[in-house]
């Protein structure tokens, strides 16, 4: 047996690879060399030489880190700020006014707190759309988490960059600044068809194509959005993007709740990827996305939490449980969205949705080492007949005890090693007090 060079050996656990063959190794191990997976298989067949670190999974589950395909990370700052409201009321009367007062320091603080929440619940990659995205990228680097980030582009002035034209300049600056970064990928992110004119959408698509990066957009989220687009252009939101020529394999469409059969056909034809955000859609009463139909059409669907202001958490284990159960009751069919399908949405298909499936999403030699370990010695996880079923219906984010991202141990025994989480929470509490005061003053003295 040839020894495999390894810096880290994770052993003594059930390995779920999530590869094309859905291989599992009941007494398995994963060897990591630098930032890559060197070997995956049976523990007694992996000779890792003299690894720098041996991590004993203690019979737990060793699996790929989870991929959150849609977040607004810094909205942890607004968790619970405005609940039980329709989307447009929530946005226009509460979120947009609060965001108008944001600065990079506040966004960094909120994003760092989000990174803590995500890492501690098993997420190792997230896709973010927000303001001051350079601050989000820096927070992700500090935390050691992988991120796809893009500055949100509007028709109107942004609190960050000002005019739409300056928004594109800011995005190009991000592309140059993070080119080749091991953790950060930049995306071009127009907010939505109802807040972006055709020229903005065309320019965003061209910029993404020029650099070979994703374009991320909210699409067909509510009935109101569909009505607005039909009134303006005589088309559904999906048909509008098709008419503009901006549907393509590098496009990630978030939400996709209100779709026609023709919309689904167009998404399939153009190989557009979809991010499903069931808890946010439920809380804002946006509706239920036709995910079973999307999957039946062969469309790649990943799972996302959306922001903490509309969810109100970033725990993908909770999101998996919700997604599976929501579609069963909605379709009155217990076989819809089985556990294996939902787990793929949160691992390899999530990576595929972000254009990263060659690098992450499964445990395979040569891929980058994004690995989590779940402690299964918990009352709610005993006994375990079907591990995949348990992960979707019984596991919680708090069961994750170790996270390795890009070959670096960022959390061990439930404790984040890359930054001070207590300090991050204290900072967000300080920002919240400051924001509450500003919002109260604004409501008392409206312009």
Tokens, residue 430 = 């300080």
The confidence score (pLDDT) of residue 441 equals: 65
The confidence score (pLDDT) of residue 84 equals: 87
Helix axes 237-244, 198-211, angle to 10 degrees: 60
Residue showing tokens 């025994």 = 413
Domains and their CATH numbers in the chain: 8-64+367-416 (2.30.40.10), 66-353 (3.20.20.140)
CA triple 7-36-387, angle to 5 deg: 95
pLDDT tens-digit readout, 240-264 = 999 999 999 999 999 999 999 999 9
Which has more pLDDT, 52 or 130?
Answer: 130
Burial degree of 24 (CB within 10 A; 0-12, 13-18, 19+)? middle
How many whole angstroms separate alpha carbon 256 and alpha carbon 271? Answer: 14
Backbone phi, then psi, for 398, in 5-degree steps? -70, -10
pLDDT tens-digit readout, 296-325 = 999 999 999 999 999 999 999 999 999 999
The confidence score (pLDDT) of residue 2 equals: 52
Mean of all residue pLDDT scores within the chain? 95
Q: Are β-strands 24-33 and 36-42 bridged in parallel, bridged antiparallel, or unpaired? A: antiparallel
pLDDT-based confidence at residue 345 (cuts at 50, 70, 90) = very high
**Above 60 in pLDDT, residue 170?**
yes
Give the DSSP per-residue string, 209-261.
HHHT--EEEEES-SHHHHHHHHHHHSS-HHHHHHHHT---TTEEEEE--S--H
């Amino acid at each position: 047996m040839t020894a495999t060079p390894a810096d880290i050996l994770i052993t003594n656990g059930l390995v779920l690879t999530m590869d094309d063959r859905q291989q599992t190794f009941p007494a398995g191990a994963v060897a990591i060399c630098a930032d890559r997976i060197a070997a995956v298989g049976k523990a007694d067949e992996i000779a890792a030489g003299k690894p720098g670190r041996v991590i004993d999974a203690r019979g737990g589950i060793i699996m790929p880190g989870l991929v959150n395909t849609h977040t607004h990370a810094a909205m942890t700052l607004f968790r619970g700020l405005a609940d039980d409201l329709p989307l447009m009321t929530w946005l226009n009367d509460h979120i947009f006014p609060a965001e108008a007062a944001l600065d990079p320091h506040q966004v960094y603080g909120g994003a760092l707190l989000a990174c803590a929440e995500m890492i501690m619940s098993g997420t190792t990659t997230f896709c973010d759309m927000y303001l001051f995205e350079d601050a989000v990228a820096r927070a992700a680097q500090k935390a050691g988490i992988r991120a796809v980030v893009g500055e949100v582009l509007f028709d109107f002035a942004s609190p960050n960059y000002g005019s739409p034209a300056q928004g594109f300049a800011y995005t190009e600056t991000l592309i140059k600044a993070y080119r080749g970064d091991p953790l950060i990928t930049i995306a071009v992110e127009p907010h939505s068809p109802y807040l972006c004119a055709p020229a903005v959408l065309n320019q965003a698509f061209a910029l993404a194509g020029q650099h070979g990066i994703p374009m991320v957009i909210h699409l067909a989220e509510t009935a109101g959005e569909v009505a607005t687009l039909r009134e303006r252009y005589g088309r559904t939101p999906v048909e509008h993007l098709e008419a503009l020529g901006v549907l393509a394999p590098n496009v990630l469409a978030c939400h996709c709740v209100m779709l026609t059969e023709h919309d689904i056909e167009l998404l399939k034809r153009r190989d557009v990827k979809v991010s499903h955000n069931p808890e946010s859609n439920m809380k804002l009463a946006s509706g239920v996305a036709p995910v079973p139909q999307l999957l039946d059409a062969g469309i790649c669907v990943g799972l996302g939490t959306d922001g903490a202001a509309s969810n109100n958490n970033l725990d993908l284990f909770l999101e998996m449980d919700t997604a599976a159960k929501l579609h069963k009751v909605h379709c009155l069919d217990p076989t819809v969205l089985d556990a294996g399908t939902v787990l793929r949405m949160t691992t390899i298909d999530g990576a595929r949705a972000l254009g990263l499936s060659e690098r992450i999403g499964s445990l395979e030699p040569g891929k980058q080492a994004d690995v989590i370990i779940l402690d299964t010695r918990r009352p709610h996880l005993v006994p375990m007949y079907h591990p995949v079923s348990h992960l979707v219906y019984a596991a919680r984010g708090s069961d994750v005890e170790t996270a390795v991202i890009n070959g670096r141990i960022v959390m061990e025994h439930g404790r984040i090693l890359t930054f001070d989480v207590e300090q991050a929470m204290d900072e967000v509490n300080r920002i919240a007090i400051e924001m509450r005061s500003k919002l109260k003053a604004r409501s008392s003295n409206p312009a």
